Amino acid sequence: MSRPEPLAIRTHALSKCYQSYSHPSHRLLQSLLPRLRARLGKAPRNYFTEHWALRDVSLTIERGQSVGIVGRNGAGKSTFLQLVSGVLAPTAGQVEVSGRVAALLELGSGFNPEFTGRQNIHFNAAILGMSSRQIQEKFDEIVEFADIGDYLDMPVNTYSTGMFMRLAFSVSYCVEPEILIVDEALAVGDAKFQAKCYRKIDDLIKRGSTVLLVTHSTEQVVRHCNRAIWIDAGQVRQDGDPKEVTNAYLVDLFGYSEDSRTSNAPALPVKTSGARGGATSGGYESRTGYNRDEFRYGTGDATITDFELLSLPSGSSETVVLASDQLKLTARVRFRRACDQAIFGIQLRTPDGVLLFADNTRDQGGGARYYAVEAGQVAEVDYHFALPLASGDYFLTLGVSEDVAGKNVPLDRRFDSIQIHVTNGRIVHGIMDIPLEINVSTRSVGT
């Protein structure tokens, strides 16, 4: 019988409450009058309202787990991380942490803005528990990873937010924490440094460190985490597999309908058929390549009822395709009500959730394009594309949405609903098989 993994973090009924005062004078009244009323034998009265940022959160996180935390702004995600890292004291409940913690919370925490980058490396690393000798041994590695050049010897209050984050992450990673906590800090970095940070996070996970990652990018949670927690209104709403949790969160975030359509962009005609034309009952689910483990959400005001994938010019219907094939994917969408600003889109992902391609009729070149469809009509949408990819399995997502005051309101989105297998006759190093021409010339060089 295998022994359970030791725990890195345990919380029991963890709660944090803030007192909100409607007027500054109420703070003074609260500090004086309750004691006076108690002496007079009167019932106590509070001059504040309670706001529970976090309430009754009980979790156990094992060593080596990478946990993504998702939720709306103000849901309590940052409060949870601050309680775990010891920045905040809980109002009620308990939190137990085992191991050295490095936390990237609010930008600038743990740094003195008047100190130089060099001084702050020593300062912050010491706070994280490193000795002077250990700091000296890691110093060059920290500087190299941060890559801030001559700014190293300048006060950090002269840094951009991106440079600040570079230095903070470099120190946090290089101290080799047993628990790394990242609260949306990577969002301020450039794409190159973000990729570099995520590689280091993956390295920490492989070495057995525990990682808590708060991000609004559900794709990053699926890619880098083996567990996800959805916090909503201060409580854990779902905890489990990253894909299942993030999918449920997306439904809650986007799965709604609005009646006010205020966009003034012109609507274009769309190829349609009558309510009985084209679509067949159960057509989508009966197609070769349909993924029964798809994730689907939307308002239901339109439904994607069928698809067909053809290889051109042969016109054969198949989901095993050559990387050199030109493909035509036809989607049929039935509208339950009239829609003046319809948008049709497509995505391509790897099995582990890496987004390779995404586009829609609104965002294509030539300006925004919206389509008008009447209630009961079935729109036929043709996508023409090729898949210059390495051999392997990939997943297509189809979607239809409506523009509401500049926001995409999903009517029906069928994530990873079509599985295709790409066959490539040559060796491809990576995922993309981008056409490349290599020319080599030689010449004699005088001795």
**Residue 3 DSSP one-character state:** P
- Look-up: residue for tokens 């909100």? 20
Query: What pLDDT band is residue 104 in, cutting at 50, 70 and 90?
Result: confident
What phi and psi, each to the nearest 5 degrees, are found at residue 165?
-65, -40
Distance CA(75)–CA(234), nearest Å, equals 5
Computed on alpha carbons and rounded to an integer, the radius of gyration of the chain in Å comes to: 28
Distance CA(170)–CA(193), nearest Å, equals 11
Distance CA(393)–CA(349), nearest Å, equals 9
Nearest to 128 by CA among 162, 165, 89, 173: 173
pLDDT given at position 420: 93
Tokens found for residue 214: 């708060």
Tell me, what amino acid is at 66? Answer: S
pLDDT given at position 295: 87
Nearest to 185 by CA among 212, 223, 158: 212
Whole-Å CA distances, 134 to 119, 121, 153, 271, 420: 15, 12, 21, 68, 51
pLDDT, one tens digit per residue, over 184-204 is 767 666 667 777 888 888 888
Whole-Å CA distances, 383 to 184, 308, 357, 359, 399: 36, 10, 13, 10, 12
pLDDT given at position 94: 94
Q: Which CATH architecture has domain 271-423?
A: Distorted Sandwich (2.70)
pLDDT above 50 (res 272): yes
pLDDT above 50 (res 281): no
Q: 87, exposed or middle or buried, with CB in 10 Å at 0-12, 13-18, 19+? A: middle
Q: For residue 358, how many C-alpha atoms fall within 13 Å in the half-sphere facing its CB? A: 11
Indicate the average pLDDT of the chain. Answer: 84
pLDDT above 50 (res 407): yes
pLDDT given at position 355: 85
Higher pLDDT, 227 or 190: 227
Q: How far does CA 138 lie from the centroid of its chain? A: 31
Q: Which CATH architecture has domain 7-22+46-253?
A: 3-Layer(aba) Sandwich (3.40)
Domain boundaries along the sequence of the chain: 7-22+46-253, 271-423
Nearest to 130 by CA among 83, 75, 191, 175: 175
Q: Per DSSP, which regions of 39-162 are E strands?
A: 49-62, 66-70, 92-97, 101-104
Whole-Å CA distances, 280 to 17, 199, 277, 285: 54, 46, 8, 10
pLDDT above 60 (res 60): yes
Is residue 70 a contact partner of residue 241, using CB atoms and an 8 Å limit? no
pLDDT, one tens digit per residue, over 339-388 is 999 999 999 988 877 889 999 998 887 666 889 999 999 999 999 999 99
What phi and psi, each to the nearest 5 degrees, are found at residue 204?
-60, -40
Higher pLDDT, 318 or 14: 14
Is residue 370 a contact partner of residue 402, using CB atoms and an 8 Å limit? no
Q: Terminal CA-to-CA distance of the chain, rounded, Å? A: 71
Whole-Å CA distances, 421 to 72, 350, 394, 435: 36, 11, 6, 20
What phi and psi, each to the nearest 5 degrees, are found at residue 117?
-60, -40
